[in-house]
Amino acid sequence: MATLADSFLADLDELSDNDADIIEEDDVDAGNMEEDIDGDMADIETLNYDDLDSVSKLQKTQRYNDIMQKVEDALEKGSDISNQGLVLEDDPEYQLIVDCNALSVDIENEIIIIHNFIRDKYRLKFPELESLVHHPIDYARVVKKIGNEMDLTLVDLEGLLPSAIIMVVSVTASTTSGKPLPDEVLQKTIDACDRALALDAAKKKVLDFVESRMGYIAPNLSAIVGSAVAAKLMGTAGGLSALAKMPACNVQLLGAKKKNLAGFSTATSQFRVGYIEQTEVFQTTPPALRMRACRLLAAKSTLAARVDSTRGDPSGNTGRSLREEIRKKIEKWQEPPPAKQPKPLPVPDSEPKKKRGGRRLRKMKERYALTDMRKLANRMQFGVPEESSLGDGLGEGYGMLGQAGSGKLRVSVAQSKLAAKVAKKFKEKTYGSSGATSGLTSSLAFTPVQGIELTNPQAHAHQLGSGTQSTYFSETGTFSKIKRT
Domain range annotation of the chain: 50-217, 220-337
Tell me how many helices (H) and strands (E) the chain has.
Answer: 20, 4
> pTM to 2 decimals?
0.49
Among 83, 322, 80, 78, which residue's Cα sits nearest to residue 221? 322
Measured between its terminal Cα atoms, the distance across the chain in Å is 129
User: How far apart (Å, rounded) are the C-alpha atoms in residues 345 and 352?
Assistant: 19
Tell me whether the CATH fold assigned to 50-217 matches the one assigned to 220-337.
Answer: no
User: How far apart (Å, rounded) are the C-alpha atoms in residues 322 and 460?
Assistant: 104
Instruction: Going residue by residue through the chain, which has 485 residues, state the pLDDT in tens, using 9 for 90 and above.
Output: 456 666 656 666 665 555 444 445 445 444 444 444 444 433 433 345 677 778 788 888 888 888 888 888 888 776 554 445 445 555 677 778 778 877 887 888 888 889 898 888 888 888 888 888 888 888 898 888 888 888 877 888 888 888 888 888 888 888 888 888 888 888 888 888 998 999 999 888 888 887 787 877 888 998 999 887 888 888 788 778 888 999 998 988 888 776 555 555 555 555 567 888 888 899 889 988 999 999 999 999 999 999 988 888 888 899 999 999 999 999 999 988 888 888 888 888 777 777 778 888 888 888 888 888 888 888 888 888 888 878 777 888 888 877 755 555 555 555 666 677 777 877 776 554 455 555 555 555 555 555 555 656 666 555 555 544 444 444 444 433 444 43
Angle at 69 between CA 68 and CA 75, to 5 degrees: 85
User: How far apart (Å, rounded) are the C-alpha atoms in residues 38 and 432?
Assistant: 121
Measured over the CA atoms of residue 161, residue 167, residue 173 and residue 176, the dihedral's sign is negative
Measured over the CA atoms of residue 197, residue 198, residue 203 and residue 205, the dihedral's sign is positive
Torsion angles phi and psi, residue 236, rounded to 5: -75, -40
Spatial contact of 308 and 213, defined as CB atoms under 8 Å apart: no
Spatial contact of 318 and 304, defined as CB atoms under 8 Å apart: yes
Considering only CA atoms, give the Rg of the chain: 55
- pLDDT recorded at residue 445: 55
Strand partners, 394: 391
3-state secondary structure of 173: helix
- The single-letter code of the amino acid at 311 is R
- pLDDT recorded at residue 473: 43
- The single-letter code of the amino acid at 223 is A
- Residue by residue, DSSP assigns 455-469 as --HHHHHHHHHHT--
User: How far apart (Å, rounded) are the C-alpha atoms in residues 455 and 473?
Assistant: 22
- pLDDT recorded at residue 331: 92
Helix H or strand E segment including 480? strand 479-482
Query: In residues, how long is the chain?
Result: 485
Q: Does the domain spanning 50-217 belong to CATH 2.60.40.1220?
A: no
Spatial contact of 54 and 47, defined as CB atoms under 8 Å apart: yes
For 205-228, the pLDDT digits (tens) are: 888 887 787 877 888 998 999 887
Domain covering 220-337: architecture = Orthogonal Bundle (1.10)
